[in-house]
Structure 1
Amino acid sequence: MKTELNITLIARGCAITGDMVVDHGVSCFGLLDGGIISTAGLLHIGDGGLVKGTAQGEHVRIDGRVHGDVHARGALEINGQVSGDIFYCGTIRLGPRASLNGTLKRVARMLTIEADSTPDEGPIAAPRMDDMKGPERTESNVTELSRAMA
């Protein structure tokens, strides 16, 4: 059986303006001027990466910087800088380079983002995946972006 690894990569030197919602993992080493929601997999803000907005995901690892709130439904590891409030319901690990400027709050799992929650269910709710219109994706956003720029 073949398994596919779905991940969106925001490379160094790349800058994206606007919010992103993905149903797979994300690795950000560039600039994202907006919020990001990853409904499954690892949300990784790599060394040199910067998110200017809310970062929400199942498993979150921050080695770069986030200027906004961070929400983690599972494991959270911070080895970079966060300027905003942190909401987590699983485990949290602060590395030797962790820098936090905000509050740290453990929340119930039901208050965290879920693919089947509605936006008004709590402060961390995300849009329902079945409410999002558009064709089903079979390729990554990177592929579509490169086609659009060609």
Structure 2
Amino acid sequence: MKTELSITLISPGCTITGDMIVDHGVSCFGLLNGGIVSTQGLLHVGAGGLVKGTAQGDHVRIDGRVDGNVHARASLEINGQVTGDILYCGTIRLGPHATLNGALKRVPRMLTIEAEPVSTGSEQVAEVAAPAQGSVATERPESNVTEFARAKA
């Protein structure tokens, strides 16, 4: 069985405006004006790369710069600069050139997936899927797992 490596490359000099959701790895060496979510594989912000928004992935490596929150579900390695909060649940490694300006929080895996607020009047709440027939509804922490799965389909 042959396996193919799928990766999206944002090359130097390239600018992308808007959010990206990919179901494989991604390497960013350019400018991304928006958030990025990698559902599988490595999310790599390379040297010279800049993400202006949230960066979410299973395995996250920051060698460039992220101006926004970082959410890592399995592993996180930082050799670059992060201005924003970092949520991780696996391993973390800070390199000699790591620069952090924000809170570093170890959280359960489900909390590393950012909640998408849904506006209802003047307040914002996270959308929660209705419980299955016969099950008891329980309050759970903010998560966009259902939104994440829908976006992936």
Structure 1 residue aligned with 2:148, among 128, 131, 138? 128
For normalisation by structure 1, the TM-score amounts to: 0.80
Corresponding residue number in structure 1 for 2:76? 76
- The Cα shift of 1:40 comes to 0.3
**By percentage of residues, which structure has more helix?**
1
Corresponding residue number in structure 2 for 1:144? none
Where structure 1 has 5 or more consecutive residues not aligned to the other structure, the ranges are 137-150
Corresponding residue number in structure 1 for 2:102? 102
Distance 2:77 2:31 in 1: 20
Given that residues 71 and 124 in structure 1 are in contact (C-alpha distance below 8 angstroms), is that contact kept between their aligned partners in structure 2?
A: no
Alpha-carbon RMSD across the aligned residues, in angstroms, is 1.9
Q: What's the CA shift string for 1:97-145, capped at 9, x where partnerless? A: 000000000001122229xxxx64655635233x239xx8xxxxxxxxx
For normalisation by structure 2, the TM-score amounts to: 0.78
Structure 2 residue matching 1:128: 3-state secondary structure: helix
Distance 1:42 1:124 in 2: 21
Distance 1:99 1:10, change over 3 A: same
Distance 1:2 1:46 in 2: 28
Corresponding residue number in structure 1 for 2:53? 53
Q: Percent identity?
A: 73
Residue 41 (structure 2) pairs with residue 41 (structure 1): yes
Aligned partner letter, 2:144: A
Structure 2 residue matching 1:97: 3-state secondary structure: coil
Number of matched pairs = 129
Where structure 2 has 5 or more consecutive residues not aligned to the other structure, the ranges are 115-125, 129-140
Given that residues 11 and 28 in structure 1 are in contact (C-alpha distance below 8 angstroms), is that contact kept between their aligned partners in structure 2?
A: yes
Q: What's the CA shift string for 1:19-63, capped at 9, x where partnerless? A: 000000000000000000000000000000000000000000000
Distance 1:9 1:19 in 2: 15
Given that residues 79 and 98 in structure 2 are in contact (C-alpha distance below 8 angstroms), is that contact kept between their aligned partners in structure 1?
A: yes
